[in-house]
Structure formats: structure tokens, C-alpha cells
Amino acid sequence: MATIEAHAPAHAHAGPARPTGIRDWLSTVDHKKIGLLYGVTALFFFLVGGIEALLIRIQLAKPENAFINPDLYNQIFTMHGTTMVFLVGMPIAVAMFNYFVPLQIGARDVAFPRLNALSYWIFLFGAIFMNMSFLFGAAPNGGWFGYANLSSTQYSPGLNMDFWGLGLQILGVASIMGGVNFITTIINMRAPGMRMMRVPLFSWMALVTSFLMITALPVLAVALFLMTFDRFWGTRFFDVAAGGDPVIWQHLFWMFGHPEVYILILPAFGIVSEIIPTNSRKPLFGYAVMVYSGVLIGIIGWGVWAHHMFATGMGPIADAFFTISTMIIAIPTGVKIFNWVATMWGGKIRFNTAMLYAVGMVATFTIGGISGVMHATSPHNLQQTDTYFVVAHFHYVLVGGLILAIFGSFYHWFPKITGRMMDERLGKANFWIYFIGFNLTFMPMHWIGLLGMPRRIFTYGSDLNLAGLNQLATAGAFIQAIGVILLVVNIVKSAKRGVKAGPNPWGAATLEWATESPPREYNFAKIPTVHSREPLWVEAEQIERDARGEPEPMHMPPNSYWPLFTAVGVTLTCVLFMAPSWWEPLIGLAWTFIGVVNWAYEPT
């Protein structure tokens, strides 16, 4: 058992020494290392998804272009959507949760450290499996929403949609386990005195997001099971000739898919709610209301799925219900936006790069929210659906919302993770180039869509007068790419040669800033007791002494290879469903079983 003795330095363990180098990374159960693994992996797939986006934009730069053939185009736009949602948006938020939630709430690790490692490995293998499809020339090609009957064997023969169905099934397992872990951590492992109404907004939004993950992803799992059974074993759930109903797919998919939107955006709300008060040097305005509105968004987010289906023909009553329920979400969201503005009001604002990103996020997200209300109006929706207007809307929400916030969080928290500051001059260039590129890409799409250009179609006629706006969008996409390259350059350069940061370079208020940068393996020498919402502004002396002083006796779990082993089993089981006979998946199940049993009997 790896027990840290009283007054011993961090690396002195009574038990076996921790492995070093690559073996440590393969067997680590430390939430900060797992957070880094998640972050680096997600950033890698962000580049992959970005390249896919550039290919789409090159193809659409001029009418009747023959750069990419229609079949490959289907694969690329499907994989762009799938990658950005499942391999970038969710894991990059989970990376931030992993690193900062335990630090913010005053815990030594998450509730289930080995489960946390398992989530990561399953996510990684799922991501690799999904992208392996390119090597077979069979990347998913039925859209990231996998609509029945487009995704049936009749219209999607070949392995393409099998890769999609099984890959998402694997990724879903990782997300559910992650959600269970974060909920338990936040509810049960807060520092003494940290009541729920003192938990930092970022951790609060992590909690709401986790609830959405554990409730939305099982529904996706069921939808995917129905689809894979249709494809593999000849059931006919979505076959109209057998009495099946393709609309059931849409209900199940969007019952997952709509909460998913909030799984992606709530972490961004959390991040912005940390950056704005810190750099306005004022407590967050209306903390309690910010918490309640976040919870409310999570709840209402569940009741509005069918606004993705106005064009399916559900009838006027259902349309009216989902129009109204969708519009209601604008209220708690509007509350948040006004509270961010009110937080800045009268503050001593410092416009560092993180703050630029946060303010940029509030502005662009508002635009995305307004075009969202436009869609929610069902008569409008019938005109706009499946056009580039929709593409413009959700990119304003997901790129202008989530990605800007995530980039801001890199600048905000980089000093904590690496102990070094990011280059502010490069950072501001990075922000402005990315921000301008982003608006140049997606703003014209509103008009492209209103002029009637459908999405998902590989080209358009030269007589439609759409070339100019499309070229603008393509130029914007390349400017964005330059912004991303600058960001990566800044990360690599600053990690090596950035100015030393110290524990709290921004003068922030939350607990993670009480630790050294980077934090020790066990986070806090002694778990601090908190008495306020802004501990480092109100009671810094005591908290910092606890966080950085002499370590108290404690128990930290040892490294383990069983998460990695078990993740191989889970992935193998899913992959072997593609094998010809029924018994092959049993190999994967047996492998998983061995992993789980050894896991259960391993000392922790």
C-alpha cells in the first residue's frame, strides 16, 4: 500500500515505487495525468477534425468543384461531425473536469481513480477504432446523426456505418463511467466547509454536465443497439415494410442528441464563469442564480429534443409544444449572459488572452443563441432546416461557445498545469486571428443558408450566385487554421520556455490556485477547510498554509495496469461483433471478465 508518511516528501512511499516514463503514463490513476492524456488526445483529434473541415471548405470554395468525390465527401462530413462532438468537444471538457474539479473542491483525486483511467483508455481505443475505418476506405458516411433509413444496410452497405455504431457504443461507455465518477466526486469529496453553494461554478457545471452524460448516453446506447441489430442480425426496427418506424430513431437519437448540446456547452459556461470574475476582480454576480440557471438548463434541455424534428411531420400540437419549451431555455441562458456582463460592470477588468476569449465567447454565443430562437419557431424552421443557416447556428454555439471558452481555459489554467505562463503577445495574436477567422467562416453561412444552399450536399450550381459567400467562408476557415497553429506553437513554446508562474498568477479566488504550480501528486498537503465562496480572497493565509505546507499522513492509490487491460477487453468485444461468427465477441467478454476480477481483487 502506497502510504505517504507524515512529514515525508511527496515521492517517499512506503509501498512499491511508482513506475516512471511511459509505464507511468500507461498505468497512472492520478486525475491530473489522466486529464492531460484526455487533453492531448482531444487536441490531436481537434486537428484531425479541423483538417476534415478544411477539406469540406476546399470542396465548397467554388461551384461544381471536383476536388472530392461525393462518396468521400459523405465520409468526411460525417467524420467531421462525429469527431468534433465525440472526440473533441466531450473529451476536452472532460480533460478540464479531470484536472480541475478535484483541485477546485479540495479533493486528492476523483472518487474512483482506476475507473477514471478506464474511461480514458476506452475513449482512446474507441477514437482509434472509429478512425481506423479510413484505412479500410470505409469511414462512416451516413451523417453524424445516423438517420434511419439512411443508415440501414440497404442505403449504407459496407462496413462504414458499422464502424460508426460500434465506435459510438465504445465511446458512450467511457462517458457514462466518467459521469458517474464526477457526480460521486463532487457530491461526496468536497473539502470540509465546502457546501454545495460554495462549489465553484466550473465544478457545478461539471456536475450538471455529468448528470446529462449518465442520462443521455444510455438512450444513445439503446438507439445504437437497435441500429446494429438491424444491420447485423436482421431485425427490422426501422423498416417501414415490417411496420417499423424510422422516426423512432430520430426520437431516441435526439433524446440523446439534445442533452448532448448542453453536455458540450455547460462546461463552457463554467469556464467563462471562472475567467470573467477573476479578470474583473469581482465575485461572480448572482452566484446562486448562475447555479440554478445551469441546473434549469440541464433539466429543460431534456424536454426539447423534438425541435430537431419539426420537418419530420409530428403535427402542429407537438410542434407548438417543442417550439415553446425550446424558447423557454433562452430565459435561464439569458440570465447567465446578463450575469456575466454584470460581473464585468464596475470591475477592474484585465484584458489578458483568457479574458478576451471569455468575452468573445459571450458575444458569439449570444449570436448563436439568437439564431437558435429563430429555429425554434417551427414555421421558420421549415424554411431553414437542412440549409447552411443551421450550420451557421450550431457552429456559433459550439465553436463560438465551447471552443472559444476552451481556448480561453488553456490560457487561464496553463500556468497551473505547467508552472509556466503562456506568451501573452502570441496569445492575443492567436485570439484575434482565430476570432476573425471564425466569424468570417460562419457569419456568411447565415446568408448562404437563407439563399437556400442545402447542407451535406457535395457541390452547388454556378448559376446560384453562392460562390462569393462560399469563398469568404473558405478563406475564414484557413484563417482559423492559422489561429489554431499559433495556439499549438504557443503551448509547445511556453511549456518549455514560458515565464515561471507561481501558485496564483491571476490572483484568482478558487482552491486550485492555493496549490503549487504544477500541483503535487496528492494536491493538498492538508485538505483545507473553507468558509467562503472565494477562499483565496477571504481566507488565503490559512488555506495556502494547508495546501502547500507539510504533508499529513494520507493514502494514495498505487498505479494499475488493469484499467488499460480491461479497456482492451471492452473494445475487443465491440470490434469482434464485426467478425463473421457469433462466438468471437465472447473472447472480448472473457478478456473483460479477467480484467474486472483482477481489478476487484487488486489492493488500492
Partner 1 sequence: MAQTDAHALHPPTSTGLNTWKLGFWVFLSSETLFFGSFIATYMVYKSASVVGPFPTEILDIPLTSISTFVLLMSSLAVVVGLDGIQKGKRKQALAGLFTTVLLGALFLGFQAYEFTHFYHAGLTLQTNLFGSSFFILTGFHGAHVSIGIIWLFILFMDILRGPMVPEKHALQVEVAGLYWHFVDIVWIVIFTLIYLLA
Nearer to partner 1, 200 or 444 (CB): 200
CB of 156 to partner 1, least distance (A): 19
CB of 177 to partner 1, least distance (A): 8
Stretch that binds partner 1, among 220-228, 269-277, 403-411, 507-515 (CB under 8 A): 220-228
DSSP string, 185-237: HHHH-PPTT--GGGS-HHHHHHHHHHHHHHHHHHHHHHHHHHHHHHHHH---T
**Which residue of 26, 248, 328, 337 would you call a contact of partner 1, by CB under 8 A?**
248
DSSP string, 347-362: S-----HHHHHHHHHH
Nearer to partner 1, 188 or 465 (CB): 188
CB of 548 to partner 1, least distance (A): 18
- Restricting to residues 500-529, name those near partner 1 by CB under 8 A: 527
User: What is the maximum alpha-carbon separation in the chain?
Assistant: 78
**Which residue of 11, 44, 555, 586 would you call a contact of partner 1, by CB under 8 A?**
555
Question: By C-alpha distance, which of 336, 220, 218 is closest to 287?
Answer: 336
**Contact characters 325-364, partner 1, x per CB under 8 A:** ----------------------------------------
Nearer to partner 1, 235 or 377 (CB): 235
**Which residue of 149, 235, 532, 598 would you call a contact of partner 1, by CB under 8 A?**
235
Based on the shown chain and the rule CB under 8 A, indicate whether residue 321 belongs to the binding site for partner 1.
no
Based on the shown chain and the rule CB under 8 A, indicate whether residue 603 belongs to the binding site for partner 1.
yes
Q: Using CA atoms, how far apart are residues 340 and 112, in angstroms rounded to an integer?
A: 34
Contacts of 567 (CB under 8 A, 6+ apart): 118, 121, 122, 124, 125
Based on the shown chain and the rule CB under 8 A, indicate whether residue 243 belongs to the binding site for partner 1.
yes
DSSP string, 59-125: HHSSTT--SS-HHHHHHHHHHHHHIIIIIIIHHHHHHHHHHHHHHHHT-SS-S-HHHHHHHHHHHHH
Q: Is the Cβ–Cβ distance between 416 and 498 less than 8 Å?
A: no
Q: Is the Cβ–Cβ distance between 221 and 169 less than 8 Å?
A: yes
Q: How many CB atoms lie within 10 A of CB 313?
A: 9
CB of 71 to partner 1, least distance (A): 30
- Restricting to residues 106-145, name those near partner 1 by CB under 8 A: 111-112
Based on the shown chain and the rule CB under 8 A, indicate whether residue 7 belongs to the binding site for partner 1.
no
Contacts of 91 (CB under 8 A, 6+ apart): 38, 41, 42, 45, 123
**Which residue of 24, 71, 245, 550 would you call a contact of partner 1, by CB under 8 A?**
245
Stretch that binds partner 1, among 70-78, 233-241, 268-276, 407-415 (CB under 8 A): 233-241
Q: Using CA atoms, how far apart are residues 260 and 212, in angstroms rounded to an integer?
A: 7
Return the amino acid letter for 529: T
**Which residue of 60, 183, 501, 508 would you call a contact of partner 1, by CB under 8 A?**
183
Return the amino acid letter for 201: L
Q: Using CA atoms, how far apart are residues 538 and 521, in angstroms rounded to an integer?
A: 26
**Contact characters 138-177, partner 1, x per CB under 8 A:** --------------------------------------x-
HSE-CB of 375 using CA atoms within 13 angstroms = 29
Strands 554-555 and 3-4: antiparallel
Count residues binding partner 1 (CB under 8 A). 50
- Restricting to residues 249-308, name those near partner 1 by CB under 8 A: 252, 255
Stretch that binds partner 1, among 94-102, 244-252, 322-330, 490-498 (CB under 8 A): 244-252
Based on the shown chain and the rule CB under 8 A, indicate whether residue 314 belongs to the binding site for partner 1.
no
Based on the shown chain and the rule CB under 8 A, indicate whether residue 222 belongs to the binding site for partner 1.
yes
Q: Is the Cβ–Cβ distance between 108 and 554 less than 8 Å?
A: yes
Stretch that binds partner 1, among 52-60, 90-98, 222-230, 473-481 (CB under 8 A): 222-230
> For 495-519, b where at least 16 C-beta lie within 10 A, e where not — what string?
eeebeebebbbbebbbbbbbbebbb
Residue 471, Cβ density class (10 Å: 0-12 exposed, 13-18 middle, ≥19 buried): middle
**Which residue of 26, 51, 54, 180 would you call a contact of partner 1, by CB under 8 A?**
180
Nearer to partner 1, 251 or 336 (CB): 251
Question: By C-alpha distance, which of 213, 239, 216, 241 is closest to 226?
Answer: 239
Nearer to partner 1, 149 or 215 (CB): 215
Based on the shown chain and the rule CB under 8 A, indicate whether residue 532 belongs to the binding site for partner 1.
no
- Restricting to residues 188-217, name those near partner 1 by CB under 8 A: 188-190, 192, 194, 214-217
**Count H helices, E strands: the chain?**
20, 2
Based on the shown chain and the rule CB under 8 A, indicate whether residue 225 belongs to the binding site for partner 1.
yes
**Which residue of 234, 313, 315, 580 would you call a contact of partner 1, by CB under 8 A?**
234
Helix (H) or strand (E) holding 555: strand 554-555
Return the amino acid letter for 364: T
CB of 369 to partner 1, least distance (A): 27
CB of 108 to partner 1, least distance (A): 8
Q: Is the Cβ–Cβ distance between 4 and 522 less than 8 Å?
A: yes
Based on the shown chain and the rule CB under 8 A, indicate whether residue 226 belongs to the binding site for partner 1.
yes
Based on the shown chain and the rule CB under 8 A, indicate whether residue 553 belongs to the binding site for partner 1.
yes
**Which residue of 179, 332, 401, 415 would you call a contact of partner 1, by CB under 8 A?**
179
Q: Using CA atoms, how far apart are residues 489 and 494, in angstroms rounded to an integer?
A: 8
Based on the shown chain and the rule CB under 8 A, indicate whether residue 485 belongs to the binding site for partner 1.
no
Nearer to partner 1, 266 or 356 (CB): 266
Nearer to partner 1, 216 or 398 (CB): 216
List residues near partner 1 by CB under 8 A.
Answer: 1, 3, 111-112, 176, 179-181, 183-184, 187-190, 192, 194, 214-219, 221-223, 225-226, 229, 233-237, 241-245, 248, 252, 255, 527, 553-555, 593, 597, 600, 603-604
